[in-house]
Structure 1
Amino acid sequence: MKNLIIIGARGFGREVFDLAKNTQAFKDGEYIIKGFLDDKTDALEPYNGYPPILGGVETYEIEKDDVFVCALGTVQPKKHYAQLILDKGGEFINLVDLQANVRSDISHLKGVLIFSFVFVSVDVTLSDFVSIQHFACLGHDAKVGQWSHMSSYSTITGFTVLEEEVMLQTAAKVVPKKTVGKGSMVGAGSLVIKNVKPGESVFGSPARKM
């Protein structure tokens, strides 16, 4: 049995804790939830029913049977803190909610988070450390690059490409065969109808550079 540690104990961390309890792996006893890593040691004080904060990422010493997930919704902090654990030799696992519908293989990946009521269609290519929140939808043959984050109700359609480190905010949508470049951000409720250049932030319907 593995000991799961969640990086981040703020709002998204509590959501990931809930996700971690609703996977087939948890039901099968493959891991228990050991606790959180967070510099804010009082992050959980107003809340009940959560495991302890074990310390900060920088100072935590990995123990036998520890495995990790990263519960940071913003791309660059997620990449930074996950990399600190990777550099220490830490192992990351995937979490897939029992109520998610995933029609593509992710067994070769690490650090992927897929929440309830997500739909991943056939022949979708995901990458390590992608996070997909509730009710997001990924159409056939879509590709999502490493570290990218899809917020709740966001949609990418057939042959859409999200390059590395892309953030789709709540209910953002991308029409078929368009590419959202590395490090870009698509604002909440936006509709992307043409390619987004690397590093751009776009907003609106149709989405325009901010």
Structure 2
Amino acid sequence: MENPVIIFGAGGLGKVALEIFKRNQVEVYCFLDDNKQLHGTEIDNIQVMGSTDEEQFLKILGKNCEAFIATDDNRLKKSLVKTLTNEYKVMPVNAIHDTSYISATAQLGHGNLIAAGVFVNVDTKLGNHCILNCKAVVEYEAQINDFVQVGAGSIIGAGAVVGEGTFIGAGVTIIAGITIGKNARIGAGSLVMQNVAEGETVFGVPAKKM
């Protein structure tokens, strides 16, 4: 990546993204965050310069700067993605930790955060704007759709399908071939042995509807 990156979001995920870019020798231009108390502060020598809607920063995106959205609030993330792609014709880049493993045959979308120690196996499909936290495993031929969050240490079994907007807590195991519906929620430590319907929340070993 030749251009510097502007990180949208100066919270915890923003700090994770900053570390990833620095480890990959990618320059970070600044943070933008809507919390005005953060404006003018620094995170590891990178300044929080303003809000996410300040045009003086947005207008330099594209030719001069890339963008990365670092938030786990999907409503906010979707709003920012819409603004960047529709108004400024900019697609957020991926932030991929250098200790993660991504198979050469895996298909990755845009704007994903892939943290330290993540393993993505062969023929996996990963959509756009997902978060794979530390040491998550996505087995072969699994499919993860847009805006999915996978907790640290979770395992997505071979051939499993995870619907858009799904939240998967830390330490979850989804066995091979399972389908998780759109906007489902899976509690931390759960073992998912049967399909989960759209919008359903499940928890436990084995996971059951709440």
TM over 0.5: yes
Partner of 1:73: 72
Equivalence map 1:55-204=2 (5 Å):
55-60=50-55, 61-63=58-60, 64-88=63-87, 89-105=89-105, 109-204=109-204
Q: Assess if the C-alpha contact under 8 Å between 1:5 and 1:69 holds in 2.
A: yes
Q: Secondary structure at the match of 1:58?
A: coil
Q: Assess if the C-alpha contact under 8 Å between 1:151 and 1:169 holds in 2.
A: yes
Deviation at 1:3, TM superposition (A): 2.0
Q: Secondary structure at the match of 1:76?
A: helix
How many residue pairs are counted as aligned between the two chains?
204
The counterpart of 1:36, out of the listed 28, 31, 45, is 31
Give the RMSD, CA atoms, in angstroms. 2.0
Q: Assess if the C-alpha contact under 8 Å between 1:143 and 1:159 holds in 2.
A: yes
Q: Secondary structure at the match of 2:79?
A: helix
Structure 1 distance, partners of 2:157, 2:107, is: 22
Q: Secondary structure at the match of 2:109?
A: coil
Partner of 2:3: 2
Instruction: Say if 1:206 and 1:98 are closer, same or farther in 2 by CA, change over 3 A.
Output: same
Matched, 1:52 2:51: no
Corresponding letter in the other structure for 1:116: A
Q: Which runs of 4+ in 1 moved over 6 A?
A: 44-47
Structure 2 distance, partners of 1:148, 1:72, is: 12
Q: Secondary structure at the match of 2:66?
A: strand
Specify every segment of 5 or more residues in structure 1 that has no aligned partner in the other structure, as ranges.
Answer: none
Q: Secondary structure at the match of 1:5?
A: strand
Specify every segment of 5 or more residues in structure 2 that has no aligned partner in the other structure, as ranges.
Answer: none
**Identity rate, percent:** 25
Structure 2 distance, partners of 1:94, 1:103, is: 15
Structure 1 distance, partners of 2:201, 2:76, is: 18
Deviation at 1:78, TM superposition (A): 2.0
Q: Secondary structure at the match of 1:202?
A: strand
Partner deviation per Cα, 1:57-109 (whole Å, 9 max, x = no partner): 22333204121111112333322222222222223211211110111446762
Deviation at 1:197, TM superposition (A): 0.6
Corresponding letter in the other structure for 1:59: E
Instruction: Say if 1:76 and 1:106 are closer, same or farther in 2 by CA, change over 3 A.
Output: farther
Corresponding letter in the other structure for 2:23: N
